[in-house]
Amino acid sequence: MTFRLPRVVAAIFLFGSSVAGAADWEVAYPAHPSVVDVTRPPYGAKGDGVTDDTAALQLAINENTGRGRVVFFPAGTYLVSDTLTWPKTWKGRDNWGFTTLQGVSAAKSVIRLKDATFTDAAKPRAIMWCGGFGSADWFHNHVQGLTFNVGKGNPGATGLQFYSNNYGAVRNCEIVSEDGRGAVGLDLGHRDMNGPLLVRRVGVKGFRRGIATSRAVNGQTFEHITLSGQTEFGFDNEGQAVSVRGLTSDNAVPAVRSYGLLCLIDAKLTGRDGAGKVPAVVNYNGGRVHLRDVATAGYGRALADAATPDYLAAYRVEGADKPGSAGPTVAEYFSHPATSPFGAATASLRLPVEETPEFPPDDPKTWAVVDAFGADPTGTRDSTAAVQKALDSGASTVFFPGNYAISKTLTVGGKVRRLLGTGGWVDYTKKVTPDFRVAAGTTEVVTFEHFAHVNGGIDNPTDRTLVLRSIGTRLAGKGQGKLFLEDVAGDELRVKTQRVFARQLNIENQGTHLLNDGGDVWVLGYKTERGGTLLDTRNGGKSEVLGGFSYTTTAGKLAPMFVTSKSSAFAFFGEVCYSGDPFVTLISETQAGGTKTVKKGEGGTWPYVGSPGSR
């Protein structure tokens, strides 16, 4: 996939909400044309739970999707009677993504379907359909801080059909059926090539299936998911490469069904109301499964690892089920044998995991908006001096509500702890490398968030913790501070003696993608594209990849997929290749005993790879 960036367009003026922060960290923005309040003219949504807001919300979506703006939903209940759709084109303007829908919080910003509106269970319809078309070029879309409520009497209702490529996320959302009826809560399988994307801190109540995903590409990552009250499956994966951490399910039906590539770790699956006759997890049709630290209660067994596509038959507790799958707690389980050049124990490394740092947002009145310092949000004029003034202003949050041209590396020091965009770019023509350099400051953590692309990259030569969230950029780890990557797309990542925690990482350059030189690198959901070594671990480094796959599009025969030199590496990983040139050498590993290689079809059943130290 290539990156397409939005055209520079004229902005319209609308006033942004100014809600004060609260215990659940409610979201607010300063007034700016790039923050579009759906309750203000020309849209005028009421959010009173009585007025039909369908037309108002659809107009706001039509006019502002694909433009690097935030469509903001102040507190309220927005009643709708038809599907809200993200357009492919609008008034001659193509939509390539770059859209954020943001509520104050899931508790306060609710989109609710009128009762008895989507009544045909055989023809499901969604409250919101987030687009997608023909190819995987629908980039950087985000839905955050909203509840999608399908109301009552809507058996044909789906909560949200989300779509994004390379980077994109559903965060801090709730999807609810008041009477438990409905088709799917979060539907990620409604069309092909959905992902890479991230779903984090999302809860689904009711529906036949809570979360549904399907098809072979492009990889989807989930963390801190809560499911309850489903009538068929909590989480249903029909062929996708899926990584899940922190799944909590409370159901009378199987919590998970999968026949794609499933990595499930740190899960708590509780069976209710007769669930003792069914398994917590169903793996069927030859799917690949890695389970780790999965605790179940109330189910007949933890896992039915059967080779039949008939999920009813797969409920049996004997026959094709494999040793170690009974549970009720599964410490670690692989559905297929692992590959290890030196015959090491085939277990994951269990690197320590840390949560991505977060902190209550600053009052928008205190933000430094770069435009107020003279920056040009159209990206036409050089904004270097103006942006640096904003960074040096003493504000802890610096807001970038547009696209910005720069000609000199910007220094991020002082009190700055958060640089926040609305989906625009910095340094489109890549005049500078890097665009930002982190310097010593008064805060331990610096966060860059919601930039479509920072083309010259971000360097951190300090010991400060760096967080990159929902951003595309060139990556380099030069400092000693921790590096957190959440929903990140980039061209390369070089890590030296650092601790890295990545969730939904997409790297697409030709050549070495990820180099770990003596550091600790933990990745939940790693999708790659193009040829070259995907992970090179050297000089005592430790690397752990929990789920993902290579979308091999060029030169797969030219390099080993994984290179390990006197280090430890583990990957639960797969490959999809439509070009006829897949990777031939999966592993090249050097230890005290020399160098050994593993080629496709040797030593185990792909997609598992391990190395000495994988214990």
Q: Does residue 350 form part of some domain?
A: no
d(CA 426, CA 410): 11
Q: What is the pLDDT of residues 314-356, one digit of tens each?
A: 554 444 567 888 899 999 999 988 888 887 667 899 999 999 9
User: How do beta strands 89-90 and 93-94 pair?
Assistant: antiparallel
**Range 354-376 average pLDDT:** 96
207 lies in some domain: no
**DSSP letter string, 265-330:** EEEEEEE-SSGGGSEEEEE-TT-EEEEEEEEEESSSEEEEE-S-S-TTGGG-SSSSPPTT---SEE
Query: Which of 72-76, 138-142, 283-287 is predicted with the least confidence, judged by mean pLDDT?
Result: 283-287
Cα 562 from Cα 571, distance rounded (Å): 9
490 vs 508: CA distance, rounded Å = 7
In a domain, 330, yes or no: yes
* Cα→Cα distances 158→175, 217, 354, 568, Å: 9, 22, 33, 44
The reported pLDDT for the residue numbered 4 is 27
The residue-averaged pLDDT of 63-70 equals 94
> How far is 109 from 129, CA to CA, in rounded Å?
18
Q: Are strands 329-334 and 288-297 parallel, antiparallel or unpaired?
A: antiparallel
Asked if 278 and 311 count as a contact pair (C-beta separation under 8 A), the reply is no
Residue 415 lies in a domain: yes
Mean per-residue pLDDT for 406-418? 97
439: enclosing H helix or E strand: strand 436-441
Are 403 and 543 within one domain?
A: yes
d(CA 10, CA 33): 10
Residue type, 110: V
Assess whether pLDDT exceeds 60 at residue 7: no
Domain count, the chain: 3
pLDDT of residue 12: 23
CA separation for the pair 140, 97 (Å, rounded):
6
Task: Reply yes or no on whether the pLDDT at 22 is more than 50.
Answer: no
Q: Cβ of 359: how many Cβ atoms within 10 Å?
A: 12
Measured CA to CA, the distance from residue 329 to residue 50 in angstroms comes to 47
The domain that contains 122 carries what CATH number? 2.160.20.10
Is residue 328 reached through a cis peptide bond, with omega within 30 degrees of 0 on the bond before it? yes
437 in Cβ contact with 410 (< 8 Å): yes
Phi, psi of 64 (to 5 degrees): -125, -10
Task: Single out the residue of 243, 183, 120, 297 nearest to residue 505, CA to CA.
Answer: 243
Give the residue from 337, 357, 372 where a domain finishes. 337
User: Element (H or E) spanning 385, and its range?
Assistant: helix 384-391
The end-to-end CA distance of the chain, in Å, is 36
Residue 211 lies in a domain: no
Whether 140 and 256 share a structural domain: no
User: 558 pLDDT exceeds 70?
Assistant: yes
**Tokens 């004997």 belong to residue:** 318
At residue 75, does pLDDT exceed 50?
Answer: yes
Q: Are residues 327 and 392 in the same domain?
A: no
Same domain, 423 and 508: yes
Taking residues 419-424, what's their average pLDDT? 97
In this structure, how many other beta carbons lie within 10 angstroms of the beta carbon of residue 372?
15
Same domain, 107 and 166: yes
Same domain? For 319 and 426 the reply is no
What residues contact 132, with CB distance under 8 A and at least 6 apart? 138, 163, 191, 193, 194
380 within some domain: no
> Which token pair is 387?
């942006």
Predicted confidence (pLDDT) at residue 522 exceeds the cutoff of 70: yes
- Same-domain status, 549 and 606: yes
Domain that holds residue 301: 232-337
Query: Same domain, yes or no, for 406 and 329?
Result: no
User: Looking at this protein, which amino acid is placed at residue 85?
Assistant: T
What long-range pairs does 325-328 form, CB within 8 A, spacing at least 24? 325/301, 326/301, 326/302, 327/280, 327/294, 327/296, 327/299, 327/301, 327/302, 327/303, 328/295, 328/296, 328/297, 328/299, 328/301, 328/302
Residue type, 104: V
Is the link from the previous residue into 41 a cis peptide, with omega within 30 of 0? no
pLDDT of 60 over the 80 cut: yes
Dihedral sign of CA atoms 13, 15, 17, 18 in order: positive
Lowest-pLDDT range, 223-232, 468-477, 498-507?
A: 468-477
Q: Domain boundary at 161, 188, 215, which?
A: 188
Q: What is the pLDDT of residue 345?
A: 65
**For the purposes of burial, counting CB atoms within 10 Å of the CB of 187, is it exposed (0-12), middle (13-18) or buried (19 or more)?**
buried
- Shared-domain flag, residues 25 and 168: yes
C-alpha span between 143 and 130 (Å, rounded): 9
- The answer on 464 and 395 residing in a single domain is yes
Given strand 493-496, what is the order of strands in its sheet? 493-496, 514-517, 535-538, 562-565, 585-591, 594-599
Query: For the chain, how many helices (H) and strands (E)?
Result: 2, 48
The secondary structure of 18-63 as a DSSP string is: -PPP-TT------S-TTEEETTSTTT----EEEEE-HHHHHHHHHH
For residues 574 and 440, membership in a common domain is answered with yes
What is the pLDDT averaged over residues 17-30?
A: 60
**Pairwise pLDDT comparison (292 vs 131), residue with the higher score:** 292
Please write the tens of the pLDDT for every residue from 248-275. Answer: 999 999 999 999 999 999 999 999 988 8
Rg from Cα positions in the chain: 24
In this model, does residue 20 exceed pLDDT 50? no
Q: What is the mean pLDDT of residues 95-111?
A: 94
pLDDT at 69 over 80: yes
Q: Do residues 55 and 81 make contact, with C-beta atoms less than 8 angstroms apart?
A: no
Residue 476 banded pLDDT, cuts 50, 70, 90? low
Whether residue 352 lies inside any domain: the answer is no
Pairing assessment for the beta strands 425-426 and 445-459 based on DSSP bridges:
parallel
Residues contacting 343, CB < 8 A, separation 6+: none
**Mean pLDDT taken over the chain:** 89
- Pair (426, 567) in one structural domain: yes
The answer as to whether 291 is a domain residue is yes
pLDDT tens, residue by residue, 199-257:
999 999 999 999 999 998 999 999 999 999 999 999 999 999 999 999 999 999 999 99
